[in-house]
Structure formats: C-alpha cells, structure tokens
A and B are shown apart, each in its own frame.
Chain A
C-alpha cells in the first residue's frame, strides 16, 4: 500500500457502485443540472473498458444511438454519477472490448455469462 493511499481513500465515492466488470450491460444514472433543477438521466450501454485505480478510476460505456456508436467515459468517483445498475453480464475474454467498435448490428451482441458464483455486492 502506498503511503498516500489513505489520503486518496477520502476522495473515493461514499456510496460504492455495485460490482460490475467489462462486458456488462449497465444503466448509468447521471445527474444533470438544467437551470436550477436537477434530474437523473440514464445512459444504457456496454462497459467496454475500465482504466486506472483509486480516485482517478474511469470506465467507458458504449451504446448505439440512431445507428451511431456513442461512447462515454465516466469517472467512477464522480459525484455526478448517482448510481449504476447491472442489467446483464457478457462473456468476454479481454479487458478492452475495442473490437466492438468495428461491429454493427447482431455482431455486437455478447454471450450472456450466467453467474456461477452469486454476485454478493448487488
């Protein structure tokens, strides 16, 4: 453990997101401020990459909007992320699913991974 890890811990999110991994289809609940109102928008897609650790950890979610691929990189500890729901887990064999970028339609589907061990953290 690095000397400054405990400092970084203070800046991690207080409400940990449920456990998710690469290949999962997730709903990311994003806080959006419009004028003085705040509402929550859902960004649904596949987690294709996770990067970094500690306070600077990010994950990339890819979805197709009107036949156009859209990717959003979310800082895991951002207070703008209100929550995350895992909808489906995909069976994948690599850490970065960049190959999905070249695929369209049915080819972008991932085989669902059935949980052999129960997902304890929700």
Chain B
C-alpha cells in the first residue's frame, strides 16, 4: 500500500549526495495531516478512501458546514481537506495523525500541484510555440500560424493546440525521488521541480507507475540475463 500526505511547496535548493553530486530539490512542508474521515466500500460511501486535513485554523475561519463535518468526526478545524482513494480497506482511523515519516529517503513519489492561473493565454505561453521574429519586417509575431490543410480535410483537427484559458489546473509530476526526510521540521526534500507556486498546496503520494525506476533505485537487477548468452559465455570458458 502506498502513502499520501498534504503539504506546502517551498523553494528549491541544492543538496549534495554521498558521491558529491549536487542534487536539485524542492522543499515540501509535508503535514502533519489529520485523518478526518475514513470511507469504506462496505459502508454507505461505497468506496475505500481516507480524507486528510492540513493547516489547523480557528473555528471561525471556516464555514459552518465544514466545521460540522470536522466536529462529527471529532477533529479540530483545518483549512484544507483532500481525499485519497484506496483499493483496500484503509487501516487508519479518524483523528490519527500522518506525518512525513511515512516516506523514506529513496522512495519514488508523485507530486500533485495546482498551477497559477494565467487567464486567456496565447499559444506561445500556453503551448510553448516558437513564434516569429519581432523585427526585420515580420508582420506576425506571436500567432500560431497555419492550423491545418486545405479543402481536404476542410476542417481543423480535434485537439489542435490553440490559444485559450491556461492555468489553475491540477498537474502531476511523476516518479520524483525523496532525497531527505526531516522528521523534526516535517519536511520532505524531493528531487526536481514540483508544479505550482511556492506556498501552494502539494499532494505527495507513493508513485503509481515507474516500477522500473523504483527497482533501479533499490539496486535491483532490471534485465533478466539472457540464458542463451549466459550458456554461450560458459562454453567459451
């Protein structure tokens, strides 16, 4: 079973590993999170999930329905609630605290963040199009250019990248390595960049894919040796 925690994104720094290599890491202030509700497939909810809360706040800071939800489960008021679905029946109970020690250095995680809103954005910002030069007689600078062919097919293909609303979406970066777990300060240092602004909400969960990378990190042999080649090597000896 994997693990899940809520946190706030900090800035990026550089740390050095045992080999003396510089590793770029993002600071995540991870938890501690309180379990506010446990949902079970056998119960009225019909599916397995745990609900975590981050950032304790004063009771007056949240709405009455939210406060009622916390009180029903016997938990203090928090600002953020997120649910995490599980395949198996969750072992946690409401009121339990989850902190960053559920992860250990070397684990692979997926980090989920929420992007800054950019409003209506052009194709250069939204999709990274190249655009054209600003000067030397160019009459078109940031436009997308041609968006298709002629009377055959006579339409624009679905999914064509165009200008439009950009940002405020959820984005996941998969298979990031946990470099340091700082229990004292409730911190995770995760290798690489995480989506979203500094101070934004981040969900860190055990990587769902990337098993190969996990095995590699654990030093396991990925490639099964070809038995024919092995026997041929023996024959030579």
Residues of B within 8 A of A93 (CB): none
> A3 at the A/B interface (Cβ < 8 Å)?
yes
Q: How far is the CB of B225 from chain A (nearest CB, A)?
A: 26
Residues of A within 8 A of B182 (CB): 7, 10
> B11 at the A/B interface (Cβ < 8 Å)?
yes
Pick the most buried of B10, B14, B15, B189: most chain A CB atoms within 10 A of its CB. B14
Contact with A along B166-195 (1 / 0, CB 8 A): 000000000000000010010101000000
| A4-B13 contact, Cβ under 8 Å, with A75-B22, A78-B22 | yes
At the interface, is chain B mostly helix, strand, loop or mixed?
strand
Contact with B along A77-115 (1 / 0, CB 8 A): 111100000000000000000000000000000000000
Number of contact residues on B: which range applies?
10 to 19
Residues of chain A from 26 to 68 with CB closer than 8 A to chain B in the complex: 31, 54-56
Residues of B within 8 A of A77 (CB): 14, 16
How many A residues have CB within 8 A of the partner chain? 17
Whether B13 lies near A8 (C-beta < 8 A) is yes
Residues of B within 8 A of A72 (CB): none
Whether A4 lies near B20 (C-beta < 8 A) is no
Alpha-carbon gap, A3 to B182, bound state (A): 15
Whether B13 lies near A3 (C-beta < 8 A) is no
Residues of chain A from 1 to 29 with CB closer than 8 A to chain B in the complex: 2-4, 6-8, 10-11
| A11-B11 contact, Cβ under 8 Å, with A4-B27, A75-B22, A78-B22 | no
Residues of A within 8 A of B13 (CB): 4, 7-8, 11, 54-56
Alpha-carbon gap, A75 to B24, bound state (A): 13
Alpha-carbon gap, A6 to B14, bound state (A): 14
Whether A7 lies near B22 (C-beta < 8 A) is no
Alpha-carbon gap, A28 to B206, bound state (A): 42
Residues of A within 8 A of B27 (CB): 4, 7
Residues of B within 8 A of A80 (CB): 20
Alpha-carbon gap, A80 to B15, bound state (A): 13
Alpha-carbon gap, A11 to B189, bound state (A): 12
10 shortest A-B CB distances, which residue pairs?
A: A80-B20, A56-B14, A11-B15, A55-B14, A79-B20, A4-B10, A55-B13, A8-B13, A4-B27, A79-B16
**Can you name 25 A-B residue pairings with CB atoms under 8 Å?**
A2-B11, A3-B10, A4-B10, A4-B11, A4-B13, A4-B27, A6-B185, A7-B10, A7-B27, A7-B185, A7-B187, A7-B189, A10-B182, A11-B15, A11-B16, A31-B20, A55-B14, A55-B15, A56-B13, A56-B22, A75-B14, A77-B16, A78-B16, A78-B20, A80-B20
